[in-house]
Structure 1
Amino acid sequence: MQKVIVIFGAGTGLGLSVARRFGREGYAVALVARRLGPLDTLVSALESEGITAAAFQADLAQEEQIWRAVSQVEDHYGHIDAIYYAPATANAFDPALDMTPAMLRAQLEFLFLGLVASIQAALPSMRSRGGGAILAGFGGTASQGLPFMSGPAPAQAAVRNYLQSLHGELQPDGIHVAMANISAVIRDSAYHQSMDAAPAAVPGDFEMPIVDPADIADDLWHAASMREGLEFFYPAPAPAA
């Protein structure tokens, strides 16, 4: 029976690369995001490469929509073997001094609570099949706070902490947890495209390396298929002296 991965927050950057990587290994791909139009374009691209794919609509800040989308995926494919959660974030350059409870609540609902709902909705299917993978990607400020970059960072730090705990708890079920900690711009992502389209919108002293999403997708595939490795950093840390 064909395995299935659900990409929550699918876009043109890392989400598409993860879909391609797992698709090349024979997985069917379920793409989930708020707007169906862009998803249909991604489905067409994947199908042109011989990858089975389908689109499902959900606002990841709305728990009931996540549960509905997962139910639709299960109705369409019959089961779920893996999920990848990494919706595109905005307002990355908000200073911590400007953050309000309402702003933080919105980030938590989208980035953290949406992840929790996605996992809770998909876990029964994975457990019934005796294994699976939970994968995620987030910004490097999840592990190291930086001045003037506090928008999604606290919510992403909660994601990292939660997944670290979940990693040990789900190992007896054969479900592997792995995450990408990305202190770089992902090539061809929506953010990368916005940088090219409007350079003036990027702070003048903001410099980050650009990483190939295919490299990250390779690491996540290895983690899921070999059930090894919890966290991967981009760029890779310099070797200790």
Structure 2
Amino acid sequence: MNKKLIVVVGAGPGVGNNVAKKFGSNNFRVVLVSRNQESLDQYVNEMSAEGIEAYAVPADAASPASLTAAFERIKKDLGTIDVLVYNAAVLKDGQPTSLTSQSLMSHLQVDVASALHCALQVIPDQAAQQEGTILFTGGGFALYPATAFAALSVGKAALRTLTFTLADEMKPQGIFVGTVTIAGNVAPGSRFAPERIADKYWELYEKREEHEIVYS
């Protein structure tokens, strides 16, 4: 039986890579997507050393064209994407009046619009096989907005809404959409250790019941 394929957009040493490792250790092939090829190569080497079949494809979450090219390459080389995890966000502080319409839109491109764009790259194939999973990394700011992180709060609230509306639309096509709302600061060795959070992505994938897990 062929291994299933997971793509993690927003690979990195925190949540992204730990989600990739969780699925990889459960017989998934893993594709890591982020901007820096050198870092991606390092992550792939680390996972390969753990017996995980991993690949690296660079792309910029701020650029839909870059993401489109990455997904075309992945589908051409590796086939249908069974699970998409979108883990990218602009983690920058700033009160509402520090923003301009242009800067807010640049945040929302990465935080929300590119999440939808990536989903649209995988939905046709998933719908054709009547099976698939799309998971978004949410944040506690969606529930409790922070004045000091206004743009991120707006973005996470919008991403949460996207999750629930997309989940409702995709359910008849066999596609499960969910989000892990991380209501705390990710830190190794704490309750918010990335490997503990990664378990919740696997829980959503396996159970396919609730569309949100609030990790607090």
Q: TM-score range by the shorter chain?
A: over 0.9
Shift of 1:88: 4.4
Shift of 1:11: 0.6
Q: TM-score, normalised by structure 2?
A: 0.94
Query: 1:84 aligns to what?
Result: 85
What is the CA deviation profile of residues 155-208 of structure 1, one whole-angstrom value per residue up to 9, with x for unaligned ones? 2211111111111111111111111111211125xxx9xxxxxxxxxxxxxxxx
Alpha-carbon distance between aligned partners in 2 of 1:89 and 1:138, rounded to the nearest angstrom: 12
Query: 1:202 aligns to what?
Result: none
Query: 1:230 aligns to what?
Result: 211
CA contact (8 A) 2:139 2:181 kept: yes
**Structure 1: which 5+ residue stretches go unaligned?**
193-208, 236-241
CA contact (8 A) 2:89 2:110 kept: no
Number of matched pairs: 215
Query: 2:95 aligns to what?
Result: 95
CA contact (8 A) 1:185 1:210 kept: no
Segment drifting more, 209-218 vs 72-81? 209-218
One-letter identity of the residue aligned with 1:34:
R
One-letter identity of the residue aligned with 2:167:
H
Query: 2:162 aligns to what?
Result: 162
Is residue 215 of structure 1 aligned with residue 188 of structure 2?
Answer: no
Is residue 32 of structure 1 aligned with residue 33 of structure 2?
Answer: yes
Shift of 1:47: 0.6
What SS class does the counterpart of residue 81 from structure 2 fall into?
coil
What is the CA deviation profile of residues 35-89 of structure 1, one whole-angstrom value per residue up to 9, with x for unaligned ones? 1111111111111111111000111111111111111111121111010001143
CA contact (8 A) 2:10 2:88 kept: yes
CA contact (8 A) 1:184 1:210 kept: no
Structure 1 consecutive aligned stretches of length 4 or more whose deviation exceeds 2 Å: none
Alpha-carbon distance between aligned partners in 2 of 1:100 and 1:80, rounded to the nearest angstrom: 37
Alpha-carbon distance between aligned partners in 2 of 1:221 and 1:16, rounded to the nearest angstrom: 13
Segment drifting more, 52-61 vs 135-144? 135-144
Larger Rg: 1
One-letter identity of the residue aligned with 1:74:
K
One-letter identity of the residue aligned with 1:6:
V
- Please report the RMSD computed on the Cα atoms of aligned residues, expressed in angstroms: 1.6
What is the CA deviation profile of residues 13-34 of structure 1, one whole-angstrom value per residue up to 9, with x for unaligned ones? 0011110111111110011111
Shift of 1:117: 0.7
Shift of 1:222: 1.6
